[in-house]
Amino acid sequence: MSSPLPPFDWDIFCAVVDNFGDIGVTWRLARQLQREGHGKVRLWVDDLASFARICPGLDPAQEAQWVEGIHIQLWYDALPADAVPARVVIEAFACALPAPFIARMAEQSPPPCWINLEYLSAEAWVEDCHGLASPQRVGSQSLDKYFFFPGFTPRTGGLLCERGLIAERDAWQQDKAGLEAWWASLGLPPKREDELRVSLFTYESAALRSLVQHWSQSTTPVTLLLPLGRALEDVLTGAGLADAIPTAQAGDLLQAGSLCIKLLPMTDQAGYDRLLWSCDLNLVRGEDSFVRAQWAGRPFLWHIYPQDDEAHIAKLDDFLDHYLATLPADAAQWLRDASHALNHGQALGELWARWPTHAPHWQQHARAWSQKLLAEGDLVTRLVKFLESRI
């Protein structure tokens, strides 16, 4: 007979979308809440197989298990009979809580604090909606659901950043011997003085073909760290290595002129952070890798999740308005043009030829930006403060 579960302080629900983005954010949130002493956390996930690719300690065959002090529960239509809602229930990214669970929430006295954790956005309207309550009728009861928007300004929910992360990053980046050992663990020599090392984790984009072609023909040696995924075909085609696509596998080291491509397996989140910290430039996508690239304090390009009506381009510009505000005008315009080219699938090679001119400003700015983002506190700090008057 299994032991009864303890009462939980947090229930977090996540529907896995696009494999890693939503679960990447919620897994980081769950671990930070637990590690920083904010109570017991239960994480409900509807796709354990995808989750296991970024959480090696997870067994997808087990519907319920403890991983790193967090209770992981497979989320499907039928709820466990003994599932009592926690004090705080987080509906990540409008994933829609199961109706039976909401009914159990309404039976609690007092009822849980219900949070809809929204997608990260730099749009101006989120400041007005952040923290607002939406009354939900459940039988004869009324429950308030609060909207919590991650964002880039003091009037939003901030960004996820674990306590001590920036100090850990700084120590990693300053440890030359440690970096050389880490590169060696990937089968790479120490980074040369004139070399550019780049990580790339994006969606498909024709822009990648021109960029990779430019790197292969450049006078600057470039090493591209490429986790296996959606960008593989565009990258290898641009490098003139299309014949290698059918047999490409993690560990392969491919050469195309001045470009060396190292294919990497999927890694856990700590491993991905170290990859971002170690590279000179990071191309990232979605939300989770986008935020982690900002904490890396290194130049990055964001491949935002594409939408059919191209609404994502306006969202990209809203972010760039914040990010580029303190850069010199010519560097800011160049970076905006490069970001648009990547997201529109346009040629990037000629734009990238101007990298040496703007790189020093960008490198300095990237580090200052990461410090600015934490001035008003990280997401968990703001979330706990928001809940203090509501629990």
> For residues 263 and 228, is the Cβ–Cβ distance under 8 A?
yes
Could you give the C-alpha distances from 325 to 158, 318, 331, 333, 342, in angstroms and in order?
A: 18, 11, 11, 11, 20
Q: Residue-wise over 127-155: b if at least 16 C-beta within 10 A, else e?
A: eeebbeeeeeeeeeeebebbbbbbbbeee
Q: Exactly one of 118, 287, 288, 378 is catalytic; name it.
A: 287
Residue from 297, 270, 284, 389 nearest 32 by CA: 270
The pair of three-digit structure tokens given for residue 232, joined into one six-digit string: 């593989």
Catalytic residue among 22, 273, 288, 378: 22
- Which has the closest alpha carbon to 157: 92, 222, 95? 92
DSSP class of residue 247 equals: G
How far is it, in rounded angstroms, from Cα 325 to Cα 310? 23
Contact by Cβ (8 Å): 281, 298: yes
Does 243 qualify as catalytic in the annotation? no
Instruction: Select from 385, 390, 381 the least CA-distant residue to 33.
Output: 381
- Catalytic residue check, 22: yes
Give CA 62 to chain center in angstroms: 26
Q: What is the DSSP letter of 306?
A: P
Active site residues: 22, 287
